[in-house]
Structure 1
């Protein structure tokens, strides 16, 4: 395999963060630094109305979106984790003030802002190798729909677009650090999905260094863990478990509202006329109207980002400490609770079991058992959760576990693939990548 001199990039378009790495024909991939000096670009959009903006609607992405949101939360629309709806047929358009945006339109706006903050590094690209999950997020993901939406989103980003499984990209990058043959299990835990690839790594002198053996994935990861925290600590204050009066009957408050509040990709979309009118009617008939009022305040005041930050602060603390305090106080909503790591791990117990079962499916797809795995490489932000790491440390032994570059390893691997003349051999659907 030989390197190419074309302008190529590896792009890890993530649920939480996006990372780009330029393919350097002469050496290691170069992570793209944004204009704020950071390599991580938050996968988020903020819209606000302005007379001097194109079409009367201004937009920013990444850290700039967060800054705009924090300046005027209630007068903006902040969208995050929108990658999670790529394969969701029930998602049609996102309402933003008086306009509606398809998935690909949101994606193109995001890529446009990503490029503008990259200082020209992402202009006039010949090739972009884009990461994608093995299995898309959602309860019933539609592969063809997600592919069509990705094609529409990325079609003009570079002259040639290739899609590579995210854990396979991480495996390719990690293989460059290995000095002898090995069978590698890569586990990528992001915001929306947990994905696995089993790869046979040959000696450094081999013509083909990596041979994919099998893959498996599941549409749950860090955002699902967040939803468990919101369900236990926040939703009871917003009316979950309550009732409302309908004529002479007492009925349970519909659970769909609470499911949407706990889903980062849906919470911001609740701020529309129909949903807000429904919640106002529900508040007037609820046995605990103040609780529904707090839900309305959460939505009207665009508090999704602040809630996200509070939830993730709790997760980070519980990754290093045995107990931590959850605190959220905004717009007449005041919640404080002590949480132990053991409690959190019980909340996500079923999710952990499903993740472990997905790793089993990857081994089965590869035709190997755990004794054949020489190294396990864990990557993605959610891999830092102790209970996630314990699944693999307990099963394979701590001495076989590798990690590092949790937020950048996929982009680096994608860039290394992008520099190959035969990069298409690694794209989803190519024989060598199945």
Structure 2
């Protein structure tokens, strides 16, 4: 069966999908083996002078490939960094070109399955790329549209990600619902309140509220890392001079995916060697220097992320840091997650409360809540948010594919 020349593309901070219509059914395209989701990750292999994508990028990096890993690039949209370039091997590449490589990779996967050129795309976007800055938010969307056009899409439109997830959810309802969509992605948390019924198609008049906040899974990783791992590398450790602590900027950058590579310059390591001489616990700073000398910042970030995921299923886990120092481990518990994420989850709860106020409904009136996004699986996050909705039935859609499926459905409505 021939596929249409349009697609739905969910370019996420942590994971991405691209999908097509097949008859009346939306389906996500296998983008890495049989997987329909792909980590939004690139690895530039300096030895082979090639780019790797997704799980292949991560495994090539973890195997010790000589090169540069880049992840969470969506978070750069709307910031001044987006207009800059970065060194990749001996070549300086604009960040726009790096994002374009990844989006072009997804486009090629869809075109391979479609067996034709795809020139129309409906892309997902958060309710707010940037909190409290309408100008930066417009710039972020305009930049993403420019990148998509440079990749060969001649017609580019956008849909809020939680609204796309709502369109996927609407396919499954068997009775009228007042529903809340909770979409906690890698970079943002977004919410839609809607009235939905099996008797009519979801229209704009059914959308009662859209809200969002720039808090997501990568923030959870950062806060957890700062609380439980970075102290082992000297974070907030005392200096010889009374009252002084080790400068925190290095650790915040190390805990932020898109900033890790900036720590590998000679100036940073020279500065750290000078600070080591002023530290009361220089052995901790030695660990940080060793990590940067090995260029293993992304390995550390992956270990922290995997620790968070492990704590979704068990009360305690150990993060193996022996690639920094023999025998070095960091213990994490559910209590650690609660303490590290408490302030961020409170901001997410406040944003849901704003959505309820915008829709003029009480939490008790919500009859169904649809969860999507990987961080909705974290027990503390899930329980904290569901506490606002005591009467709601919980519906778990595809955590990583619901937005993408909804984008395909709406692309069909707009472009067919």
TM-score over 0.5 for the pair: yes
Is residue 317 from structure 1 mapped to residue 310 from structure 2 by the alignment?
Answer: yes
What aligned pairs does 1:155-234 form with structure 2 within 5 A after superposition? 155-157=149-151, 158-206=153-201, 208=203, 211-234=206-229
Counterpart of 1:80 (choices 57, 65, 71) is 71
CA contact (8 A) 1:202 1:208 kept: no
CA contact (8 A) 1:35 1:119 kept: no
| TM-aligned CA deviation for residue 119 of structure 1 | 6.8
- Indicate the residue corresponding to 1:365 in structure 2: 358
- Which of 26, 29, 37 in structure 1 is aligned with 2:26? 29
Contact 1:5/1:419 (CA < 8 Å) preserved in 2?
no
Q: In 1, Cα distance between the equivalents of 2:227 and 2:117?
A: 48
Change in 2 beyond 3 A, CA 1:212/1:316: same
Change (3 A) 1:421 1:249: closer
Q: Are 1:151 and 2:151 matched, yes or no?
A: no
Deviation at 1:364, TM superposition (A): 1.8
Instruction: Provide the secondary structure at the position in 2 that maps to 1:220.
Output: coil
1:18 maps to 16
Go from structure 1 to structure 2 and tell me whether the alpha carbon gap of 1:335 and 1:163 turns closer, same or farther (over 3 Å shift): farther
In structure 1, the residue matched to 2:63 is 71
- Cα 1:324–1:210, aligned 2, differ >3 Å: closer, same or farther? farther
Q: CA deviation at 1:282?
A: 2.9
Cα distance per residue 1:293-342 (max 9 Å; x no partner)? 32222223232332233223322222122223333220326532433312
Aligned-pair CA distance for 1:66 = 2.0
**Deviation at residue 284 of structure 1 after TM alignment:** 4.3
Name the residue aligned to 1:389.
382
Q: Report if the CA contact (8 A) 1:78-1:302 is conserved.
A: no
Identify if the C-alpha distance between structure 1 residues 334 and 131 changes in structure 2 by more than 3 Å, giving closer, same or farther.
Answer: farther
TM normalised by structure 1 equals: 0.86
- Alpha carbons of structure 1 residues 418 and 168: separation in structure 2 relative to 1, 3 Å: same
Q: 1:64 to 1:203 in 2, by over 3 A?
A: closer
Larger displacement relative to structure 2 (259-268 or 331-340): 331-340
1:283–1:116: structure 2 CA closer, same or farther, 3 Å change rule? farther
Cα deviation for residue 409 of structure 1 reads 0.4
Q: 1:103 to 1:148 in 2, by over 3 A?
A: farther
Residue 63 of structure 1 aligns to a residue whose secondary structure is: helix
Moved more, 282-291 or 78-87: 282-291
Equivalent residue, structure 2, for 1:48: 45
Distance 1:379 1:311, change over 3 A: same
Task: Report the secondary structure of 2:112's partner residue.
Answer: coil
Residues 1:250 and 1:340: Cα distance change in structure 2 (over 3 Å): closer
Please, which moves more after superposition, 81-90 or 125-134? 81-90
Question: Which shows bigger deviation, 158-167 or 133-142?
Answer: 133-142
* Aligned residues of 1:11 and 1:21 also touching (Cα < 8 A): yes
Structure 2 length-normalised TM: 0.89
Contact 2:260 2:298 in 1 (8 A): no
Q: Which residue of 1 aligns with 2:80?
A: 89
**How far apart in 2 are the matches of 1:207 and 1:229?**
39
Alignment of 1:135-146 (within 5 A): 135-136=128-129, 142-146=136-140
Indicate the larger mover: 225-234 or 129-138. Answer: 129-138
The equivalent residue for 1:130 is 123
**Hey, what does 2:94 align to over in structure 1?**
102
1:85–1:138 Cα contact (<8 Å) kept: no
Q: How many equivalent residue pairs?
A: 411
- Mean Cα displacement is larger for which, 219-228 or 195-204? 195-204
CA distance in 1, matches of 2:252, 2:311: 24
Where does structure 2 lack aligned partners over 5 or more consecutive residues? Answer: none
Query: How far apart, in 2, do the equivalents of 1:275 and 1:411 lie?
Result: 40
Question: Structure 1: how far apart are the matches of 2:21 and 2:68?
Answer: 35
List, as ranges, runs of 4+ consecutive aligned residues in structure 1 with deviation greater than 6 Å: 138-141
> Does the residue aligned with 1:174 lie in a helix, a strand or coil?
helix
Task: Tell me by how many angstroms 1:385 deviates.
Answer: 0.7
Secondary structure (helix, strand or coil) at the match of 2:206 reads: strand
Cα contact 1:45–1:61 (8 A) shared by 2 = yes
Is residue 405 from structure 1 mapped to residue 398 from structure 2 by the alignment?
yes
Q: Is the 1:7–1:23 Cα contact (8 Å) retained in structure 2? A: no
